Structure 1
Amino acid sequence: MKKLVKPLVLLLLVTFSFIACNSKTKQNKEKETALLTPQKETIQKAQQEYQVGARVPNDLVCMVNNAYMGKPQIQVPVNGKTYYGCCQMCVGKLNNDETARTGIDPYSNKEVDKTEAYIVLMKKEGEVAYFEAEENYNKYKESH
């Protein structure tokens, strides 16, 4: 009988440990889902709010890739103005390359500082354009 007690106790301990581990895994997955769901909804909401042709906030645009990213970007202060980049490479480029901080207005063909631009989502893939003002964008729309 004593020979059966030890293996039975060991089997119970292993079973209990297995159940406890699975329980924690399930709880962690539920927590992860709860934490990720609001973020996904926020990103989806942001993408729904900004359709092609809509003005987008500066902080949701990577100003190096000229792309709407759908979430806040890294702030890059340069000469008293705040630019935005999506990664450390973009941060470096905005800090060191003046041409990364300017764009060309598609209507007037004039150079415009990206922090002062009227930024519009041009394609559903995220491409943006920088206009001197909303008026320029409206004239651009009329002509295209």
Structure 2
Amino acid sequence: MSIPAMAMDKNEDNDESKIRAVESKYVCMVNNSVFNQEQIAVEVEGKTYYGCCPMCKARLEKDVSIRNAVDPVSGNSVDKATAIIGVDSSNKVYYFESKENMQNYASNSSAEEGEEMNDMHSMNNNM
């Protein structure tokens, strides 16, 4: 079970209430889960990754693909050790190339959620 590493701002007008930055040492990079305590540091090729247990540590050491993610804004592959890590209100972890990408994602994801709700409302009214 994961617990947020930082308290969330409840201000709905603040983009950080949608996606907040979290330090990599609080994220299991295998399960992509955020915790309230530092995870096991795993040094691989001069970079530091984090896992929550010995099994995750072993996977990070052996599986190159588990050490990478896709930035949801740019679509580019990012190294989890160097990525900006963001967490949403449901504790879903995202990896970004830059802080700007994280902020853009936070801004656009709230707008897209509103559009999806409007589309669903329109569909229901047409039935």
- Give the TM-score, by structure 2 length: 0.71
| Partner AA of 1:91 in structure 2 | K
Write 1 or 2 for the structure with the bigger share of helix. Answer: 1
SS at match of 1:71: coil
* Structure 2: gaps spanning 5 or more residues: 10-16, 110-127
Kindly tell me the number of residue pairs found equivalent between the two proteins.
101
- Taking only aligned residues, the RMSD between alpha carbons, in angstroms, comes to 2.2
TM-score (norm: length of structure 1): 0.63
Q: In structure 2, do the counterparts of structure 1 residues 70 and 139 end up closer, same or farther at CA, with 3 Å as the change threshold?
A: same
Give the residue type in structure 1 aligned to 2:50.
Answer: Y
1:34 maps to what in 2?
Answer: none
1:77 aligns with 2:36: no
Identity, % of aligned pairs?
40
Larger radius of gyration: 1
Amino acid at match of 1:111: S
Structure 1 letter corresponding to 2:55: M
Structure with more strand by fraction: 2
Instruction: Give the match for residue 53 of structure 2.
Output: 87
Whole-Å separation in 1 of the counterparts to 2:96 and 2:104: 11
For CA contacts below 8 A with separation 6 or more, give which structure has more relative contact order.
2
- 2:19 partner SS: coil
> Is there any run of 5+ residues in structure 1 with no aligned partner, and where?
1-43
